[in-house]
Structure 1
Amino acid sequence: MWSSHEEAKASIRYRYTKSFNGFSAMLTEEEANRLAATKGVVSIFINRRHKLLITRSWDFVGLNKSAPRVHAAESDIIIGVIDSGIDPSVESLNGDNFGPPPAKWKGSCFANFTCNNKVVGAKIFPEGKKYEGDATTEDVYSPMDLAGHGTSVASIAAGNWVDNANLFGIANGTARGAVPGARIAMYKVCWRAPDNECYEADILKAMDEAIADGVDILSISLVVDDETGTFDGGLSIGTFHAMKKGILSVAGAGNDGPGLGTVRNCAPWILTVGMTNTDRQLKNTLLLGNGQKLEGEGAINVFKSPKNFAPLITSVDSSQCDFKDEECRDNAGTCYFYMDSDRTKGKILLCKIPPEAGMMRQYFKRSHQGIVGSIWFDTVPPPDLVENPYVLSESDGPQIGINRSTTNILLQYLKSNKSAVGKILQTESIIGGGVAPIVSSGSCRGPDRLGWGVLKPDVVAPGENILLAIPSYKTYLYDTFSSHNRPTFSFGTGTSFATPHVGGVAAYIKSFHPTWSPAAIKSAITTTMKVSIAEGKGMELKRSASQNIELNVDKYPYQFLEN
């Protein structure tokens, strides 16, 4: 295969030897084809790129403060998280009240990184990323979490009890994981630059290590865009070997819904998780000068509500656009071109929601032209913006998205009042009043397009607007907050955050039934779900049917058929 031993050694990135046999190496297409034809080789696949896909959610699914626990058994549970790293210093992951790791633990902590008795292990896997470039361009050669994703996932699955958890007063309550007494082991495979990338060679090596280290559950909030077949991907191979060693792998279905056949992580031995909303709503309010309140969505305004009203101005009235120019004329209403700062300074700007959600997000993350707030109007906000609103700081300015009927009320007020004023209030967290659970628009749907012959996703769990712990390290999400005012909790949406809900439930079940196999735990979750039909005017039944997890592990007698 190679002309010399030295050449072969230089080409190899990883050897997978602890839990299964294999290696990762730099090969030409010809070399790969020759190797594939060699006797004993099961499969060869390229180093594909993967992407990263709680004050209320646990109460919503039924795992409340009074839920029974087997504390000693829970303390022996180790959840392996394959993600973007971890920050053990956050309160949700503090290890001060824990004893030493269980005797079965064989893992370790990366050099010069401080683990604790809660976060018992942390390793990094950058070699696969190096195929495409330096993993540490915008990251650190350490398990420290600069992306914020891994810390959040870990806190949902097994975070400590944290009172008064909130985002600047929003959604205040007690944050906790499903198994606060359990331990966490982090395997960092995702690197911040350029877009939180995770590569198959690294993922497979992480699973090789995690299985040998002695984890009980694997939580994997990653998907690959071009998932193909049974044994030609790191995730399906690694999770298969985990299953053989008695470890259940829980993975996200992906966030590219609602199209049919979009579901990822379809291997039968994976517990695949979609996402729903909860009964907590994040409500935005525009208070008009006449006392009328208009409700909207699309952003999380963390600043305190302003004392004074500000003048309202439409994007057309504030534009210095030459309306003879077609491009200018077509985009003037979206606030995309030619804003006149003399007209907008100190005012709340009304903009039509752009046709592409990405353009709207550009405005969500910046203030411009001296405005003190933005109202996005005229159409129903795109579903992904409603389900995944941006967290805004004071430097971004308050913003709100309103639908067509609310827009008509606002325009009527503007028409009847030449001195129209308003103010956008701080986002409120409200329990009840909405329809829940509903499968989120962005959650990937079945059927399985790869021909596994199984129904996927297996289960859905809360994944919209989840309050979660974030690293104390300055991250990309909070560059606009000063160090003394940086939050310790924020909101996140995606199957990434639904996944550790189910991973945490799996760990909870295992604490009662430590000898149960992955198939038994998976069966316990999928066959005892609450089937809920959300009722609402004009609601699509297929989107409303939400199979929610049932957490009373002793309610039903279980029988399992296993090979």
Structure 2
Amino acid sequence: MWAGRAGRLLGSSALALAITLTGTAAALGDDAPPTPAPSTAFTLVTLQGPGTSAGTRTAADLLARQDAVLGALGAGEPVYRWTTALNGFAARLTDSQLAALEHQRGIAAIEADTVRPLAGRTSLAAVRAAATPRLRGGAGVVIGVVDSGIAPESPAFADVPGLGPDPERFSGVCSEGEGWVAGDCTRKVVGARWFVEGFGRDAVRSSESFSALDDLGHGTQVASVAAGNAGVSVRVDGRDAGRFGGMAPQARIAAYKACWGAPDPSGDGCSTADVVSAVDAAVADRVDVLNLALAGGERIDTLQRALLGAAEADVVVIGAAGNSARAAFAAHAAPWVTTVGSAIGRMSRGRVSVPGGASWTGGGRPVDVRGPAVLAQDAAAPGVSSHDAGQCRQGALDSRLVAQRIVVCRRGGIGRIDKSQTVAQAGGRAMVLVNRSPGAVTADFHAVPTVHLPAVAGRELSRWVARHPGGRLRMSRVPGAAGERRTPPWSASGDPRGATLKPDAVADGDAVLGALPESTGRSWGVFSGSSAAAAHASGLAALLRAEHPGWSASTVRSMVVTSARPVPGATVLSQGTGALPSRAPRAHLALEVEAGAWRRALRTNRLAELNATSVLLPAGRTTAVRRVTNVGSRPEYFSVTARGFTSHRVRVQPLAVRLAPGESAAFTITVSGPSTPGRLDDGQLVWLGARGGVTRVPVALTR
């Protein structure tokens, strides 16, 4: 293990090639699915009743109860104790102690520790910058990021003027470690802790730092998207890629490193014991928003119970939905967590035209380019197969056949950005990247002007070029709003049999720009997955907490989720309310949940009856009741309509209410129509305020 930051840069040189975190089929490469996470040797034990965050008992009381349980088992001091977000501990227990634990009274949960994958994938190649980053927002708010750490040297986290007032509530610490000293915490990075005992010191890769320093890059990217400084210049490979700014650029960051790299990257991840310890510390430190970009939690497990304690402490909790859409339901099933899935964002689009008027549109940000075209498979370098040339692999193109031409490359085999680099090295003028099978298209930052076409359009264009050797193409960017399109979510969907509807919403999760540690060999990269989407939501929550310091976490959560807009063609089980906005919402209607109601509903198994921001009605249930509150400063009329349902009649009463500031009103949803097993019917209840606000409540009828 290295002894300082310079040593870390040398020891981590392999990371400059690629960072592979557990990811998604829609990621930037064509990678294999992740390896299932292994178990560790710890047992997580949660005692009944809340931690001190609920304000009912002291830490001394909780520790005494833990000592009594440990003493009855004949167990020694546990590796971790938790007293703030929940009452529990993590310990190595023998089989006989586990058997004895089953007979102990007052135990709420017993769980074997596991390593959870992170919910994103990072690429060091593709870069796209925000065109008009927000300059202000989030001042005085602290976002706690439970992840792989942070890179304090990044300009995204510099202690710059204009950060606004310092946080008043936060009371965290700056834990030193390898390559990290107290001075690495600033007015921007206000706290740093690290937790490794669950993952195991002997299990981390040699390039890792036993401190809050980020060596994987994931935590740095998440933190920068949520709260990176505004107006930061982005340069990659000597090229200007615009300016960067996080969602809440004036917000502060507290890093809680609980995710680690293993010698085999398939073992990278976060021990639940470490994550729960990080959550417990973050709640004790009094963060305002808590971001967890890791998978798991399809049921109410130890981590979800810890996050319940965070919600009871008035923390806005944001969790990534996960990316294993075919293998698991959305993560973080607990209703007190705002679970965010991924959709491909408002992608820039480019057009490829041929003489005679035919044109095809796909992802891209090209300048206007005209020139003769060539199929890459017809421009193979000597000794290279047409297959490798068609995929524009490194060194596979003959520069004599490619120079000053627009090259049509097939997707697959290597990364998308590597293909444009091959074209550039061979002297090509531009590239058209074509999918060979159904799949997403993107608008990456390429080495040459590029348009990425879907499979059908790609086949049509390829046939035209084959029939017109040397035919000229024109590439151009589609301007304005017509050049942007949001595509459906591709992250994990919600469980139709669950107590609450998940995910709560979606956000941009494809090729999102974020800062990277110096140890990766680059300062910027893009990442994909629900981790990027969750970071967006955390920044949005920070904007609201700064603008409305009197609002509870429950109110902020409601305002974030209900401000989303539906993505066409997607069900509410895949998108929740829809795609989150990029600005703080201006509506004045909230669905609030009193802090103690979460735990009462969990204890009585009545989670479905909570005043959630969504409705999930299974067969046998025909009504639901929700309560809305005017959180604005003036009286206002609100009216509601039911939209989108195809096979059921959904009636809402009352259809309109007038609410004074702080006043609430209950409304009842009644469903009538066929009950067909396995059939989903869904839609939304849309509340319109007289002052212009829109509040959406998604409804899923799983009948």
TM-score under structure 1 length normalisation: 0.72
Change (3 A) 1:521 1:102: closer
2:316 is equivalent to residue 248 of structure 1: yes
Match of 2:634 in 1: none
Aligned to 2:602: none
Contact 1:279 1:432 in 2 (8 A): no
Which amino acid in the other structure matches residue 206 of structure 2?
T
2:175 paired with 1:110 = yes
SS in 1 for 2:117: strand
Partner SS state of residue 218, structure 1:
strand
2:521 maps to 1:495: no
2:565 to 522, 526, 531: 531
- Whether 1:556 and 2:576 are equivalent positions in the alignment is no
Determine if the alignment matches structure 1 residue 212 to structure 2 residue 276: no
1:547 and 2:573 aligned? no
1:120 paired to 2:190: yes
CA gap 1:38/1:371 in 2 versus in 1, 3 angstroms:
farther
Whole-angstrom distance in 1 between the partners of 2:336 and 2:551: 15
Asked if 1 retains the 8 angstrom alpha-carbon contact of 2:417 and 2:447, the reply is no
Q: Does the 8 Å contact 2:234/2:524 carry over to 1?
A: yes
Name 1:443's counterpart in structure 2: 491
Matched, 1:314 2:377: yes
Instruction: Give CA deviations for 1:342-389 in whole Å, capped at 9, x if unaligned.
Output: 9857666876555xxxx4549958989997788764624533xx35x7
Shift of 1:277: 3.1
Q: Are residue 379 (structure 1) and residue 414 (structure 2) matched?
A: no
Task: State the partner residue of 1:222.
Answer: 294
Paired AA for residue 259 in structure 2? C
Q: Which amino acid aligns with 2:109?
A: S
Which of 292, 302, 314 is residue 233 of structure 1 equivalent to?
302
Within a 5 Å distance, the mapping from 1:38-77 to structure 2 comes to 38-53=104-119, 56=130, 74-77=138-141
Alignment of 1:26-45 (within 5 A): 26-45=92-111
Q: Identity of aligned pairs, percent?
A: 25
Q: Distance in 1 between matches of 2:339 and 2:457?
A: 38
Deviates more, 1:199-208 or 1:365-374: 365-374
Higher relative contact order (CA 8 A, sep 6+): 1
1:88, distance to aligned residue in structure 2 (A): 1.7
Alpha carbons 1:470, 1:490 under 8 Å: kept: yes
CA distance in 1, matches of 2:419, 2:79: 39
Q: Quote the Cα distance in structure 1 between the aligned partners of 2:503 and 2:445.
A: 29
Q: What is the match of residue 4 of structure 2? A: none
Partner of 1:327: none
Distance in 1 of aligned mates of 2:318 and 2:467: 54
Alignment of 1:271-420 (within 5 A): 271-281=338-348, 283=350, 312-314=375-377, 333=387, 353=411, 359-361=413-415, 364=418, 377=434, 379-380=436-437, 382-383=439-440, 386=441, 403-417=455-469, 420=470
- What TM-score results when the alignment is normalised by the length of structure 2? 0.59
SS of 1:274's partner is: strand
Contact 1:115 1:122 (8 Å CA) reproduced: yes
Secondary structure of 1:491 counterpart: strand
Amino acid at match of 1:177: G
- 1:313 and 1:347 in contact (8 A); partners too: no
Quick check: 1:433 aligned with 2:482? yes
SS in 1 for 2:519: coil
Q: Give, as a single letter, the amino acid of the residue that structure 2 aligns with 1:314.
A: Q
Contact map agreement 1:79 1:182 (CA 8 A) in 2: yes
Distance between the aligned counterparts of 1:391 and 1:443, measured in 2? 23
Q: Distance in 2 between matches of 1:182 and 1:309?
A: 50
Q: Structure 1 residues 8, 340: CA separation in 2 closer, same or farther (over 3 Å shift)?
A: closer
From 236, 248, 258, the counterpart of 1:189: 258
The offset of 1:291, in angstroms, is 13
Is the Cα–Cα contact under 8 Å of residues 316 and 333 in structure 1 kept in the other structure? no
- Counterpart for residue 263 of structure 1: 330
SS across alignment from 2:565: strand
State the SS of the aligned residue for 2:506: strand
Match of 2:87 among 21, 32, 50: 21
How far apart, in 1, do the equivalents of 2:73 and 2:97 lie?
Answer: 15
Q: Amino acid of the residue matched to residue 578 of structure 2?
A: Q
SS of residue matched to 1:506: helix
CA drift at 1:526: 2.6
SS in 1 for 2:112: coil
1:202-261, Cα deviation, whole Å (9 max, x unpaired): 10110111111121110111112xx4532x332x1221111121112101111233x597
Taking the TM superposition and a 5 Å limit, the aligned residue runs for 1:465-544 are 465-471=511-517, 473-475=518-520, 479=521, 486=522, 488-527=523-562, 529-532=563-566, 534=568
Query: Is residue 81 of structure 1 aligned with residue 127 of structure 2?
Result: no
Aligned partners of 1:180, 1:342: CA distance in 2, in Å?
Answer: 44
Deviation, structure 1 residue 409: 3.0
Aligned positions, number? 499
Which structure 1 segments of 5+ residues have no match?
322-330, 480-485
**1:269-327 CA distance string (max 9 Å, x none):** 100112233334165x88999999976559x99xx999998975527977979xxxxxx
Query: What amino acid does structure 2 have at the position aligned with 1:50?
Result: R
SS in 2 for 1:172: strand
1:45-67 Cα shifts (integer Å, max 9, x gaps): 122121221964987xxxx65x8
Helix, strand or coil: the match of 2:250?
coil
Match for 1:46: what amino acid?
A: A
User: Is the Cα contact below 8 Å between 2:379 and 2:398 reproduced in 1?
Assistant: no
Q: Tell me, which stretches of 5 or more residues in structure 2 are unaligned?
A: 1-68, 120-127, 598-703
